[in-house]
């Protein structure tokens, strides 16, 4: 990321983003909640990417250099918060579950500019309470730094349906399976199967936002059947891919 834009105040607003649109790398002095009530939004830093459909939001801590990417037509809600308001005490982004109340609080907070009124302060206090209580979701795709790991991850990023074992992928990039397995844990904080599942779920959300049929998504992302994909998706997001389609279309 180059030419980092600095915004002293994290904006609070609603904006529409066309499919494939992006907001270039920037940082704020305050925290920000990023929520797409329609479509899917991804937040990317040098450390990785976090992705959120309409049932999730992304918490971006103050000072984090990040960019936004829209998948599908996105109605983006940005809630800026002072650096002192950090109920999660996190130093890197995280994905949060968005229940009905938190969703409505985010929408209400972004309909009008912040005016410092007592009513608005109370609204923000309740929003922060809901953020604090929201379950954090493991929807992060970390970026590798070790060269052999970058090579393996690059192969799978280009084709998430590649179902070769770590040993077979290692032979292609000239690295041993044990070395790669150790690097996945040390460099990315997860096992190879965990990272590959995260990648496939990430890509599945992108394809669903583009209205790709569920069976096609399952095939492109490497699941053996649509039912196997639906099962993994439901465990990760709490609803089926078809429900995700319906939710997105209903806004």
Q: Please tell me the predicted confidence (pLDDT) of residue 112.
A: 79
pLDDT digits (tens, 9 = 90+) for 8-42: 777 889 999 999 999 999 999 999 999 999 999 99
- pLDDT 10s digits, 162-192: 999 999 999 999 999 999 999 999 999 999 9
- Local structure of 205: helix, strand or coil: helix
Q: Is the pLDDT of residue 251 over 70?
A: no
Which residues neighbour 9 within 8 Å (Cβ) at sequence distance 6 or greater? 28, 29, 30, 80
pLDDT at position 3 is: 67
* pTM, full prediction: 0.87
Residue 1 has pLDDT above 60, yes or no: no
pLDDT 10s digits, 189-214: 999 999 999 999 999 999 999 899 99
pLDDT at 248: 45
pLDDT at 8: 75
6-28 exposure pattern, b = at least 16 Cβ within 10 A, e = fewer: eeeebebebeebeeeeebebbbb
Q: How far is CA 92 from CA 44, 89, 155, 243, in A?
A: 11, 9, 26, 30
Lowest-pLDDT range, 42-46, 217-221, 243-247?
243-247
List of domains in the chain: 5-140 (2.60.120.810), 142-250 (1.10.10.60)
Given the structure tokens 């925290």, which residue do they identify?
31
Question: Considering the chain, what percentage of its residues have pLDDT values greater than 90?
Answer: 72
Element (H, E) at 109: helix 100-111
Residue 119 has pLDDT above 60, yes or no: yes
Are the C-beta atoms of 241 and 214 separated by less than 8 Å? yes
Q: What is the DSSP string of 174-189?
A: T--HHHHHHHIIIIIS
The average confidence (pLDDT) of the chain is: 90
pLDDT at 161 (0 to 100):
96
For strand 5-7 and strand 66-81, is the pairing parallel, antiparallel, or unpaired? unpaired
pLDDT for res 246: 45
């Amino acid at each position: 990321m180059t030419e980092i834009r600095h915004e002293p105040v994290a904006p609070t607003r609603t904006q529409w983003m066309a499919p494939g649109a992006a907001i270039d790398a920037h940082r704020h002095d305050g925290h920000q909640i990023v929520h797409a009530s329609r479509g899917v939004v991804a937040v990317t830093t040098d450390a990785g990417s976090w992705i959120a459909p309409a049932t999730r939001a992304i918490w971006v801590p103050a000072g984090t250099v990040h960019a936004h990417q829209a998948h599908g037509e996105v109605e983006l809600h940005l809630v800026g918060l002072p650096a002192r308001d950090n109920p999660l005490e996190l130093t890197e982004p995280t994905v949060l579950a968005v229940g009905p109340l938190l969703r409505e609080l985010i929408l209400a907070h972004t309909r009008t500019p912040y005016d410092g009124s007592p009513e608005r302060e109370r609204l923000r206090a309740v929003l922060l309470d809901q953020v604090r209580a929201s379950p954090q979701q493991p929807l992060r795709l970390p970026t590798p730094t070790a060269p052999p790991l970058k090579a393996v991850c690059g192969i799978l990023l280009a084709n998430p349906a590649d179902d070769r074992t770590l040993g077979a992928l290692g032979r292609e990039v000239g690295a041993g399976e044990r070395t790669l397995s150790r690097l996945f844990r040390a460099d990315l904080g997860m096992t190879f199967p965990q990272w590959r599942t995260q990648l496939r779920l990430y890509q599945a959300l992108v394809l669903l936002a583009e209205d790709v049929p569920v069976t096609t998504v399952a095939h492109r992302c490497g699941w053996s059947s649509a039912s196997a994909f639906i099962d993994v998706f439901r465990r990760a997001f709490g609803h089926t891919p078809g429900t995700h389609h319906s939710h997105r279309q209903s806004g």
